[in-house]
């Protein structure tokens, strides 16, 4: 077949067999997918191009099972105030992250996640600073003192165990939040007229309050997501290796925390860190209380726990530095 023949050759979806149009075709690693099949994939899935036909088929089966399960999903609690929200079935200890309203859930088919599938969660505060300028003699110049508009987007971010995706995130407020500030070069002097600055900053307090309010919302959501999941039973571990199986819950949680710290772009929580350190100390005290500190095994255990505490601290400190942009 010649070049033109190839160009006009009919193409078919590797999954449903329907003909795909020139603009409606989506590449997967070993074939083509149609728009309709692509629309059925998870919102959180982003490995289409490297997925095989078999993997896509498997995911579509899972998505259909998910759709059926949604019929029994009872929303008893909602968290978040943005387009995307957390819809919770408290009895099933499961949740959805979706922009769909309750009545169109089955149609939109958001993935049901069990809370014990959450590996970790936190929130991020995206900040952007823009100077506001004024037009003087046809030129844009700074105000005196310079004025700045800060924009914020507060997102809950989580890592989950799922065969098709591992990260989810959503903004907890409807639109970008703003905060207006001025930067004084020198302390304003008594008697100077700064009524224009006062006017400019008239909403700053309310803006600040809103940012704090949504930071708290994000923190509450991240906390709810992680409440039990962070210390989830060992059975929930992904691909448990021989080493992982022989780990104690404390070792496993510490390892999960270290891994999180090494990879996170969001600030690890101090409370997590302190909790782990406390558990390590408690375990050491338990060894001493039982009088095992004098035995070789007891000594080795104490030393291993010291080392674990050091590793946790090092990973935490490094993550804090990295996440604060230092
Ligand atoms: Zn198709």
Q: How far is the CA of 26 from the centre of ligand 1 (A)?
A: 10
Select from 17, 120, 107, 13 the least CA-distant residue to 66.
107
Q: How far is the CA of 85 from the centre of ligand 1 (A)?
A: 29
Q: How far is the CA of 54 from the centre of ligand 1 (A)?
A: 13
pLDDT at 249: 74
Residues with Cβ within 8 Å of residue 306, at least 6 apart in sequence: 284
* Residue ranges covered by each domain of the chain: 10-69, 77-226, 233-323
DSSP-derived pairing of the beta strands 31-33 and 94-98: unpaired
What is the percentage of the chain residues whose pLDDT exceeds 90? Answer: 60
What is the maximum alpha-carbon separation in the chain?
87
The structure tokens listed for 254 are 């510490």
Q: How far is the CA of 8 from the centre of ligand 1 (A)?
A: 19
Grouping H, G, I as helix, E, B as strand and the rest as coil, residue 294 is helix
Q: How far is the CA of 260 from the centre of ligand 1 (A)?
A: 37
The answer to whether the CB of 70 falls within 8 A of the CB of 77 is no
Select from 283, 171, 258, 271 the least CA-distant residue to 221.
171
Grouping H, G, I as helix, E, B as strand and the rest as coil, residue 178 is strand
Q: How far is the CA of 63 from the centre of ligand 1 (A)?
A: 14
CA 254, 256, 261 angle in degrees (round to 5)?
95
Give the model's confidence band at 22: pLDDT under 50 very low, under 70 low, under 90 confident, else very high.
Answer: confident
Over the stretch 75-123, which tens digit does the pLDDT of each residue have? 999 999 999 999 999 999 999 999 998 889 999 999 999 998 998 888 8
Is residue 237 over pLDDT 50?
no
Is residue 244 over pLDDT 50?
no
- Reported as half-sphere exposure (CB side, CA atoms, 13 A), residue 105 has a value of 23
Q: How far is the CA of 28 from the centre of ligand 1 (A)?
A: 12
Is residue 53 over pLDDT 90?
yes
Give pTM, 2 decimals: 0.67
Is residue 236 over pLDDT 50?
no
Q: How far is the CA of 159 from the centre of ligand 1 (A)?
A: 29
Q: How far is the CA of 30 from the centre of ligand 1 (A)?
A: 14
Lowest mean pLDDT among 85-89, 300-304, 306-310: 300-304
Grouping H, G, I as helix, E, B as strand and the rest as coil, residue 121 is strand
Most confident range (mean pLDDT) of 4-13, 177-186, 227-236, 242-251 is 177-186
Q: How far is the CA of 44 from the centre of ligand 1 (A)?
A: 19
Select from 255, 313, 237, 248 the least CA-distant residue to 286.
248
pLDDT at 102: 86
pLDDT at 246: 53
pLDDT at 252: 81
109 dihedral zone (left: phi>0; alpha: psi -120 to 50; beta): left
Q: How far is the CA of 18 from the centre of ligand 1 (A)?
A: 6
CA dist 69 and 138 (Å) reads 62
* 185 or 55, greater pLDDT: 55
- What average pLDDT does the chain have? 87
Helices (H), 71-174: 105-108
The structure tokens listed for 111 are 């993935």
The answer to whether the CB of 218 falls within 8 A of the CB of 190 is no
Q: How far is the CA of 104 from the centre of ligand 1 (A)?
A: 23
CA 116, 120, 125 angle in degrees (round to 5)?
140
User: Which residues are paired to 31 by β-bridges?
Assistant: 28
Q: How far is the CA of 163 from the centre of ligand 1 (A)?
A: 21
Q: How far is the CA of 162 from the centre of ligand 1 (A)?
A: 23
pLDDT at 8: 65
| Average pLDDT of the segment spanning 56-78 | 96
Q: How far is the CA of 242 from the centre of ligand 1 (A)?
A: 40
What sign does the dihedral 72-76-80-82 (CA atoms) show? positive
Q: How far is the CA of 107 from the centre of ligand 1 (A)?
A: 18
Give the model's confidence band at 251: pLDDT under 50 very low, under 70 low, under 90 confident, else very high.
Answer: confident
The structure tokens listed for 56 are 């896509």
Give the model's confidence band at 4: pLDDT under 50 very low, under 70 low, under 90 confident, else very high.
Answer: low
What sign does the dihedral 32-34-37-38 (CA atoms) show? positive
Over the stretch 174-232, which tens digit does the pLDDT of each residue have? 999 999 999 988 777 778 888 899 999 999 999 999 999 999 999 899 989 976 544 44
CA dist 99 and 185 (Å) reads 45
Q: How far is the CA of 16 from the centre of ligand 1 (A)?
A: 4
| Average pLDDT of the segment spanning 14-36 | 91
* 287 or 236, greater pLDDT: 287
The structure tokens listed for 179 are 């905060």
| Average pLDDT of the segment spanning 124-139 | 94
The answer to whether the CB of 10 falls within 8 A of the CB of 24 is no
Q: How far is the CA of 6 from the centre of ligand 1 (A)?
A: 21
Residues with Cβ within 8 Å of residue 210, at least 6 apart in sequence: 173, 177
* 236 or 93, greater pLDDT: 93
Q: How far is the CA of 14 from the centre of ligand 1 (A)?
A: 7
């Amino acid at each position: 077949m010649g070049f033109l023949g190839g160009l006009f050759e009919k193409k078919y979806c590797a999954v449903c067999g329907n003909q795909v149009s020139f603009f409606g075709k989506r590449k997967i690693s070993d074939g083509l997918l149609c728009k309709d099949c692509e629309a059925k994939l998870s919102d959180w899935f982003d490995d289409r191009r490297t997925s095989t036909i078999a993997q896509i088929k498997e995911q579509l089966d899972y998505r259909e099972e998910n759709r059926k399960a949604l019929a029994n999903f009872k929303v008893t609690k909602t968290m978040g105030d943005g387009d995307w929200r957390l819809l919770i079935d408290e009895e099933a200890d499961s949740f959805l992250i979706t922009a769909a309203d309750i009545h169109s859930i089955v149609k939109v088919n958001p993935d049901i996640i069990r809370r014990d599938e959450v590996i970790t969660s936190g929130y991020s505060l995206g900040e952007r600073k823009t100077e506001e300028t004024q037009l003087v003699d046809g030129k844009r110049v700074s105000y005196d003192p310079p004025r700045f508009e800060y924009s914020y987007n507060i997102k809950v971010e989580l890592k989950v165990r799922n065969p098709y995706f591992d990260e989810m995130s959503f903004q907890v407020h409807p639109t970008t939040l703003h905060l207006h500030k001025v930067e004084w070069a020198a302390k304003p002097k008594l008697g100077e007229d700064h009524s224009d600055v006062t006017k400019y900053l008239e909403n700053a307090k309310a803006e600040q309050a809103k940012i704090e309010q949504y930071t708290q919302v994000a923190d509450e959501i991240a906390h709810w997501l992680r409440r039990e999941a962070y210390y989830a039973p060992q059975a929930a571990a992904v691909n448990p290796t021989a080493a992982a199986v022989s780990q104690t819950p404390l070792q496993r949680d510490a390892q999960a925390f270290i891994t999180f710290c090494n990879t996170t772009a969001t600030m690890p929580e101090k409370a997590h860190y302190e909790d782990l350190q406390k558990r390590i100390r408690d375990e050491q005290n338990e060894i001493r209380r039982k009088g095992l500190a004098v035995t070789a095994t007891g000594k080795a255990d104490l030393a291993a726990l010291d080392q674990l505490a050091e590793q946790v601290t090092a990973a935490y400190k490094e993550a804090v530095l990295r996440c604060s942009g230092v």
